[in-house]
Structure 1
Amino acid sequence: MATVTAAERRAEAKRAYDAYVAACPSRKLLDTLSDKWVSLVLNALADGSKRYSDLARTIAGVSQKMLTQTLRGLERDGLVTRTVTAAVPVRVDYRLTSLGESLLPLMAAIKQWAESHIEDVEAARLRYDADSENSP
């Protein structure tokens, strides 16, 4: 049996979490975080706990199916917690976990950047589309 040095073990561990490798777990997490509904749900929960209906009203255009799938995925990843309160009707609240809260500065910065730069991006798209139409 070959002996593996500590440096080799560290190098192997580093390769195991290389997001450029298709099977890397961190890449799968990046795929999740880049979903538009995930970013919108995380930002919507930044101010605290919300009911499902509050989230649905806040996030325009999200279908019931997509919101449910997104919340379940975030709960599975440990970013959101779901609390059911026995009442008539049953009350279900969602809130960020401490892990989810640790993402807020990043998600808020991306949201703010998008809102601040959308005019520049739209202008670039128009230029690109015009150039593409005029190219052979």
Structure 2
Amino acid sequence: MTNIPISLRYAETHEWARRESDGTVTVGVSDHAQDSLGEIVVIEFPLVGHEYRAGDPVAVVESSKSASDVHAPVSGFVIAINTDLINRPSDVNVRPYEHWLFKINPTDLDEYYLLLTPEDYAVKTG
């Protein structure tokens, strides 16, 4: 069974999003996504400082099976990437909810609340 933490929101494209106390949003790929991809071997990160719109492809996760776009769950500016994953991208396979990919400063926080709830995401991936 896929792990779906209740403290997160989810995009239709299998990204998870966590609203931080400072208003930023931390983004990663869901357990369902990493499981479907197989062993992750390379992550192409978004550009820090670049503005993206919700739904835009911003990163690429390459695995032993395929490559998959990672989309911005909310519009905003990328403020950080997880450089720890540059040399160890497969850490996402082990703990996908601990190993985030990037952080975004949203320009419209209302978009966060339009993402899937854990219950809705469970139905989608069920």
> Structure 2 length normalisation: TM-score?
0.27
Per residue, is there more strand in 1 or in 2? 2
Higher relative contact order (CA 8 A, sep 6+): 2
Larger radius of gyration: 1
> Structure 1 length normalisation: TM-score?
0.25
